[in-house]
Structure 1
Amino acid sequence: MLLKDKVVMVSGIGPGMGIKLALEAVREGARAVAICARSEARLVEAEQSIHAFAPGCEVLRMPTDVTDPAACVNFAQATAERFGRIDALINSAFSHGGFQAVEEGDNDPLREALEINLIGSLNMSRAVLPQMKAQGAGAIVMVSTLGVRKPYRGGAAYSASKSALAASVRYLAAEQAVHGIRVNAVACGWMWGEPVKAVVRQTAAARGVGEEQVRAEFSAGIPGGRMPGDEECARAALFLASDYASAVNGAQLDANGGEIMH
């Protein structure tokens, strides 16, 4: 088990990759998971799903706005106080920031994406550093996107925020290595799960075509034409959080089915 007896924090619990991160962490042996989101209802649902899968796993749920530094500190401190340590943080909270072209000139979507994807991730990461430094070990993983390197329609704001986050990963990794803390990112593309299923349904309805046609179009750039599932991408992120990735620091792992290859 990759995460046997580990304490794992996940920000941005939702119906997509967020809940899969928590569930897969439990599957890989985590003894406790701490989950946050802005919605209490989603957190309750997530806790129920975790306990249904692993009744003995300890769960801390806390409504948290990652754009509020004090709220992030409260979440991290509550986790450390309850479980005694923080082995890993997965920053999954995000906002797409709308779908618009750069030339449209509306900076509000960009500000929202930057506030949550960049600053929110940094707020949460800073909040866990005192505990990780005290332990002399820890892993932080940022969920990023292949849109940083492969533009797609309407992805300018989201990808710009993730590009800034990619630079922050490298700096934070270099700064914290002396404390035994690793910082990495996982770059995902289209993931077959509830959020993308909703986009496929909406796109198909708007165009008057079948959902399978839209799904095939979304998957066309992926070798084999198969979108990886949310849980598959979650496992890639959790690998980076595990001791098996102890030699990996400041890196970005592609988890997009081969849509981007180096």
Structure 2
Amino acid sequence: MAEKLTGKVAVISGAGSGFAKATAELFARLDKCSLVLFDINEEALATTVKNCEAAGSEVVSFRGDVTKPETFTRALEETLKRFGKVDFLINYAGGAVKVAPIEEITDDYMRKTIDLNLVSTILSCRTFAPQFKKQKQGKIINVSSVCDRRSWPGWTVYSAAKAGVNAFTKVLYTELRPHGVCVSLLVPGGSNTGFQSAAEGVPKFEWDERDAVRPEHFADMVYQVCALTRGGCVSEFHLFGLAQDISGF
């Protein structure tokens, strides 16, 4: 069973590009879902906001660095001030920063990668959890990676951070389930997005779009998880493109 997202409120990080942008725009286009959007790239975020507002959604947006706790404090404050509740918290923001042999990963790169992927997710959930408990309803979606399930050279720290997101999300599910709150883990494969250009050392690739998983695929799956009626919770969902080989260790 599914329901419309009309009248619902979604908070989405990293909304300037990729999966997050596609999700925000789909939520707006289908149901005029109210949105709280943030991204470190103001110009890219502005485009998403423009598209969502044109589709009829009410949008709150601001520039936010997800490695800083104040970003999520502001997100919660803005959400409650404008809408009085939060139905969906979708933690898309993340990135590889640098892909290289482990001896080439400096302390700075290591910390940036862990902060951007794992710490940001923890900060977000820690900030919003009390509100979800108070409401006794809502859904949180955290984003891991195929890199926490399969191994490729050079992806050590990123994979470790995403594996941390996996473990964190599973435990958070056990904490929030008794309060009527669903916590889900999205495990995405590689896609033709700006991901590779935003990280140092990622080999350039462009898969045939007919077989590649695309941002709109992720948006559609996340929509379906959010539209699932109360009582059902998708604890984990994987979405890989046919173009990507994920076999092996």
TM-score scaled by length of structure 1:
0.82
Aligned to 1:152: 152
| AA in 2 matched with 1:254 | H
Aligned to 2:13: 11
Larger CA deviation: 158-167 vs 231-240: 231-240
Aligned to 2:233: 248
CA contact (8 A) 1:121 1:142 kept: yes
What SS does structure 2 have at the residue aligned with 1:24?
helix
Superimposed CA distance per residue, residues 229-258 of structure 1 (whole angstroms, 9 cap, x where no aligned partner): 111012222333333474225x32101136
What SS does structure 2 have at the residue aligned with 1:257?
coil
Aligned to 2:241: 257
Residue 211 of structure 2 is aligned to residue 239 of structure 1: no
Superimposed CA distance per residue, residues 180-229 of structure 1 (whole angstroms, 9 cap, x where no aligned partner): 11111111111133445899xx956xxxxxxxxx535xx7xxxx971111
Distance 2:22 2:146 in 1: 20
Match of 1:21 among 3, 20, 23: 23
Could you tell me how far 1:51 is from its partner in structure 2?
2.2
Match of 1:228 among 208, 213, 222: 213
Larger CA deviation: 177-186 vs 42-51: 42-51
What SS does structure 1 have at the residue aligned with 2:80?
helix
Distance 1:195 1:78 in 2: 28
Could you tell me how far 1:81 is from its partner in structure 2?
1.4
Q: Structure 1 residues 197 and 113 mapped into 2: Cα distance closer, same or farther (>3 Å)?
A: closer
Name segments (4+ residues, structure 1) moved above 6 Å.
none
Distance 1:129 1:109 in 2: 29
Distance 2:150 2:198 in 1: 22
Superimposed CA distance per residue, residues 138-182 of structure 1 (whole angstroms, 9 cap, x where no aligned partner): 100012111111122432221110100100001111011111111
Q: Structure 1 residues 256 and 95 mapped into 2: Cα distance closer, same or farther (>3 Å)?
A: same
CA contact (8 A) 1:12 1:37 kept: yes
What SS does structure 2 have at the residue aligned with 1:227?
coil
CA contact (8 A) 1:65 1:72 kept: no
Report the identity percentage. Answer: 26
| AA in 2 matched with 1:51 | E
Aligned to 1:193: 193
What SS does structure 1 have at the residue aligned with 2:31?
coil
**How is 1:50-89 mapped onto 2 (pairs within 5 angstroms)?**
50-52=52-54, 54=55, 56-89=56-89
TM-score scaled by length of structure 2:
0.86
Which structure shows the higher helix fraction?
1
**How is 1:134-149 mapped onto 2 (pairs within 5 angstroms)?**
134-149=134-149
CA contact (8 A) 1:110 1:161 kept: no
Match of 1:43 among 39, 42, 45: 45
Superimposed CA distance per residue, residues 36-84 of structure 1 (whole angstroms, 9 cap, x where no aligned partner): 11232222221112123x1x21000022222221231121111111012
Could you tell me how far 1:101 is from its partner in structure 2?
2.2
Extract unaligned runs of 5+ from structure 1: 205-213
Question: Aligned Cα RMSD in Å?
Answer: 2.6
Distance 2:196 2:123 in 1: 27
Larger CA deviation: 80-89 vs 34-43: 34-43
Q: Structure 1 residues 195 and 70 mapped into 2: Cα distance closer, same or farther (>3 Å)?
A: closer
Residue 17 of structure 2 is aligned to residue 32 of structure 1: no
